[in-house]
Amino acid sequence: MLTLTTETASQLRSSSAASGGPHVADAQRTELVALGSGLCASIPAGPGRASARWHQRAEEILQQLRRLLSLHGTALEYRWTDELIPGGAMRWIAIRVVADELPAECLLTHPKIATVLLEALEIALGCRPAVYYRDGQLRACAARDAHVVPEWVGPLDLSAGYCMSLPLR
């Protein structure tokens, strides 16, 4: 499984430097892949190149999402929620994988998976989404309504497959 972490870039660099680079085979070490906006995918330790394990795990997640789609007609569930934030309220959708079969955070751990999330959110919202992450939770709103929400990473633009900061007006 791929997981998401807010590991800092310096921690990522020191981890890679100490190991001789991000692709050195080491069955005891978890590797990190920077995804943008301070988020990293954590790749489980194992034999071979970390990049190969990253792509393999992403394909396994995509297969699980396809299976859920065929069984339930959808792989993701959405719930509109209003949350109080400093300066007002935020109306957005909470996102989860059907039957909690996968943690929602795994949807941001690889560009191929993030693209599936992006397409699903565009359908659900009817427009370009902005995505937010905090403690394993995902939220989304229309990009045109996005703003910085304290304690959440975002708003994120997934249009390139990575977690890029959404330019705000």
Compute mean pLDDT per 10 residues along the chain, 169 residues long, and list them: 69 53 54 88 89 94 95 94 86 93 93 94 95 95 91 90 70
Whole-angstrom distance, CA of residue 156 vs CA of residue 131? 5
Query: Quick check: pTM over 0.85?
Result: no
Residue 21, sorted as left (phi over 0), alpha (psi -120 to 50) or beta, turns out to be left
Rounded to whole angstroms, how far apart are CA atoms 54 and 75?
21
Contact between 79 and 66 (Cβ < 8 Å): no
Cα 76 to chain centroid distance, Å, stands at 14
The predicted pLDDT at position 6 comes to: 80
Query: Residue 88: in which H helix or E strand, if any?
Result: strand 88-97
Q: 69 and 118 in contact (C-beta within 8 Å)?
A: no
- What pLDDT score does 9 carry? 43
Neighbours of 114 (CB within 10 A): 22
Q: What angle do CA 141, 142, 143 make, to 5 degrees?
A: 110
Q: Which two tokens stand for residue 57?
A: 């795990």
Q: Which domain, by its residues, includes 13?
A: 3-165
User: How many domains does the chain fold into?
Assistant: 1
Cβ-based neighbours of 46, under 8 Å, separated by 6 or more: 27, 53
- CA–CA separation, 66 and 75 (whole Å): 7
Residue 58: the pLDDT is 95
pLDDT of residue 162: 77
